[in-house]
């Protein structure tokens, strides 16, 4: 936004409107930073429609810009004063204020008192808006959708169950592996190896196993997340008082606009930390079993 304002004077001289475009427009027009493009604003429904081109300069690309026409799925953002001045000068119009504003973005605070004040002002009185989209209200309603809650609940239960079973399996495998090789470790101690050397050998073996498992799980988890999560994201049609009328094409575009972004929640880091902590506890227990085993008892039982 600051770039658009900073280039206002240069735009008035060159009669080219600086614009920030979304990924759809950027890819469709094959743009690059600093490239120019032209949009035609003529009305095709009139009997004698004339060409009404305006030249723009691509300043930057963003993932998505909410469009006044939700059926298009693309957006172009310009500085109003630059666009109005250039358009009126190009078309010999006396007043630049004849160019209507089709959308206003309002930045507000997140605290309940500020939100209540803004909503009250925009829903009644001299500042009342005919079409008003409250992003925070829409987000709150979507978080309470039954399908969303069911999907998140099923995925959470599945992830917790898989993590719990993998931890139990890891502990059992490590324990059984050490128990089956206890005689080998005892023989090494009998021929002169110290308890510290045996414990260090076991620790290195288990550390390699756990580190490899954690790295592979992170890599494959990231790959599966990129492949599967976009297929689970959905956008449903909520109450008309929240989203307004929506066409079939707009509903289809809503499934991928804005582009899906995978957010890593803090709870995932906590789960990884718990997993690493449990691996460390398992490692300590396994090393303790090997280091504290009785040499005479192990050799005598196996000799019998």
Q: Mind giving me the DSSP string for 116-142?
A: HHHHHHHHSSTT--SS---HHHHHHHH
In a domain, 104, yes or no: no
d(C-alpha 221, C-alpha 211), whole Å:
15
Section 127-144 average pLDDT: 79
Burial of 156 (0-12, 13-18, 19+ CB in 10 A): exposed
**Of 65, 98, 131, which closes a domain?**
98
The pLDDT value recorded for residue 59 is 92
Same domain, 295 and 199: yes
Domain interval for residue 158: 146-303
Same domain, 170 and 276: yes
The pLDDT value recorded for residue 241 is 44
In a domain, 212, yes or no: yes
| 85 Cβ contact list (under 8 Å, min separation 6) | 12, 96
Number of neighbours of residue 128 by Cβ within 10 angstroms = 10
Classify strands 53-62 and 36-40 as parallel, antiparallel or unpaired.
antiparallel
Q: To which residue do tokens 């009669």 refer?
A: 15
In a domain, 236, yes or no: yes
pLDDT, tens digit, 9 for 90 and up, residues 83-114: 888 888 877 666 555 677 766 778 888 888 88
**In degrees to the nearest 10, what's the CA dihedral of 65, 246, 101, 123?**
-110
Same domain, 158 and 294: yes
Taking all residues of the chain, what is their mean pLDDT, rounded to a whole number? 77
* pLDDT interval class at 194 (50, 70, 90): confident
Same domain, 275 and 214: yes
* pLDDT interval class at 76 (50, 70, 90): confident
Same domain, 237 and 173: yes
Asked if residue 11 lies in contact with residue 84, where contact means CB atoms within 8 angstroms, the answer is: no
Same domain, 184 and 261: yes
Section 178-183 average pLDDT: 76
In a domain, 223, yes or no: yes
Is the per-residue pLDDT at 162 higher than 90? no
In a domain, 105, yes or no: no
CA distances from 12 to 9, 82, 258 (A): 5, 7, 32
The pLDDT value recorded for residue 239 is 46
d(C-alpha 56, C-alpha 182), whole Å:
76
Of residues 45 and 58, more confidence is placed in: 58
Buried b (16+ CB within 10 A) or exposed e, 221-235: eeeeeeeeeeeeeee
In a domain, 103, yes or no: no
In a domain, 230, yes or no: yes
Of 278, 289, 274, whose CA–CA distance to 202 is shortest? 289
Same domain, 75 and 176: no
pLDDT, tens digit, 9 for 90 and up, residues 216-269: 888 988 888 888 877 776 665 544 444 445 566 666 666 665 666 777 878 788
The pLDDT value recorded for residue 57 is 92
In a domain, 264, yes or no: yes
Of 240, 249, 237, 238, whose CA–CA distance to 70 is shortest? 249
Same domain, 157 and 296: yes
Same domain, 90 and 193: no
Strands annotated E in the chain: 17-22, 36-40, 53-62, 76-78
Section 16-29 average pLDDT: 88
The pLDDT value recorded for residue 242 is 47
Same domain, 79 and 191: no
Q: How many domains does the chain have?
A: 3
The pLDDT value recorded for residue 45 is 44
The pLDDT value recorded for residue 233 is 66
The pLDDT value recorded for residue 56 is 93
pLDDT, tens digit, 9 for 90 and up, residues 4-15: 988 988 888 888
Of 151, 268, 287, whose CA–CA distance to 218 is shortest? 268
Same domain, 150 and 299: yes
d(C-alpha 72, C-alpha 254), whole Å:
11
Of 248, 247, 243, 257, whose CA–CA distance to 65 is shortest? 257
Same domain, 134 and 155: no
């Amino acid at each position: 936004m600051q770039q658009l304002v900073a280039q206002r004077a240069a735009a008035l001289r060159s009669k080219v409107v600086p614009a920030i475009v979304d990924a759809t427009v950027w890819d469709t027009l094959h743009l690059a930073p600093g490239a120019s493009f032209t949009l035609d604003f003529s009305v095709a429904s009139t009997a004698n429609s004339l060409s009404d081109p305006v030249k723009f300069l691509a300043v930057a690309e963003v993932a998505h810009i909410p469009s006044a026409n939700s059926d298009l799925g693309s957006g172009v953002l310009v500085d109003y004063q630059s666009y109005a001045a250039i358009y009126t000068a190009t078309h010999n119009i006396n007043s630049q204020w004849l160019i209507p504003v089709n959308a206003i973005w309002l930045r507000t605070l997140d605290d309940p008192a500020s939100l209540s004040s803004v909503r009250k002002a925009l829903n009644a009185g001299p500042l009342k808006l005919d079409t008003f989209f409250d992003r925070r209200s829409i987000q709150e309603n979507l978080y309470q959708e039954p399908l969303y809650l069911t999907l998140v609940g099923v995925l959470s239960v599945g992830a917790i169950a898989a993590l719990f079973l993998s931890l139990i399996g890891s502990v059992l495998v490590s324990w059984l592996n050490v128990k089956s090789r206890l005689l080998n470790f005892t023989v090494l101690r009998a021929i002169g190896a110290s308890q510290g050397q045996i414990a260090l050998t076991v620790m290195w073996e288990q550390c390699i196993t756990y580190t490899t498992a954690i790295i592979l799980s992170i890599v494959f988890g990231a790959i599966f997340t990129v492949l599967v999560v976009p297929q689970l994201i959905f956008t449903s049609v909520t109450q008309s008082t929240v989203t307004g009328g929506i066409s079939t094409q707009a509903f289809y575009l809503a499934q991928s606009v804005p582009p899906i972004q995978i957010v890593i929640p803090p709870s995932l880091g906590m789960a990884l930390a718990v997993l690493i902590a449990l691996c460390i506890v398992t490692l300590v227990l396994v090393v303790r079993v090997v280091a504290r085993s009785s040499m005479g008892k192990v050799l005598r039982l196996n000799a019998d």
